[in-house]
Amino acid sequence: MKKRIFTTLVAVLLVAIAAWCWGQSGNHSELKEGDIVFMHSSSRQSPLIAAATGSPWTHCGVIVMKNGEPWVLEAVSPVKVTPWKEWKKRAKGGITSMKRYTEDEVHISYSKYLGRPYDTAFRFGNNAWYCSELVYDIYKTQLGVELCKPRPVSDFHLTGKVKSEMKRRGITSNQLVVAPVDIFNSDKLH
């Protein structure tokens, strides 16, 4: 058990260092519609997501362009679009990352998502959205791309605090979910 915790901490540290380096050198001025952006959020549930997934990426969204400027379509409460610069300020330490599916032009239709509630139960198909579910759904329904396979909650590192929060929200261990790190690690993105 101690070895697993140590290995997880080392992996999270290495990803954080890589993310910091990317954040320092990444050219975010070249964001395009359809790019997927990631951050370590400062939300209350962020530490639980990081502990469960072993990843610093606890929130994600998809870039949409408005008047030539990048905005992030994100599932918060409610689903909304946020100017990129404002979104980035919410990242712990300002560290973000970006992944891209294609260099081709992409158009994201998002009006049907706007104003929908945040899905605290992390369930598919309930007309509420959590961040990675929103990105997953957009890519699957609009671009015909399944970025990753949903996996059971039991695949994640479920500690006492995480289990307690899951129970409070009605989340079951066999429930299928998509985490930000699952999308980040997609072999369909570069």
Question: CATH number of the domain that 53 lies in?
Answer: 3.90.1720.10
> Which residue range is the domain that position 175 belongs to?
2-184
Q: In this structure, is residue 156 part of a structural domain?
A: yes
Q: In this structure, is residue 96 part of a structural domain?
A: yes
| The residue type at 155 | D
Q: How far separated are the first and last CA of the chain, in Å rounded?
A: 33
H helix or E strand, kind and range, residue 25: helix 2-25
In contact, 19 and 98? CB cutoff 8 Å:
no
Q: In this structure, is residue 79 part of a structural domain?
A: yes
Q: Alpha-carbon distance 62 to 45, whole Å?
A: 20
Q: Alpha-carbon distance 66 to 85, whole Å?
A: 13
High-pLDDT (> 70) share of the chain, %: 85
Q: What is the pLDDT of residues 117-139, one digit of tens each?
A: 999 999 999 999 999 999 999 99
Q: Say what the pLDDT of residue 1 is.
A: 53
Q: In this structure, is residue 85 part of a structural domain?
A: yes
Q: Say what the pLDDT of residue 21 is.
A: 44
Query: Out of 25-34, 51-60, 133-142, which region has the weakest mean confidence (pLDDT)?
Result: 25-34
Q: In this structure, is residue 190 part of a structural domain?
A: no
- pTM of the model as a whole: 0.85
Q: In this structure, is residue 189 part of a structural domain?
A: no
How many structural domains comprise the chain? 1
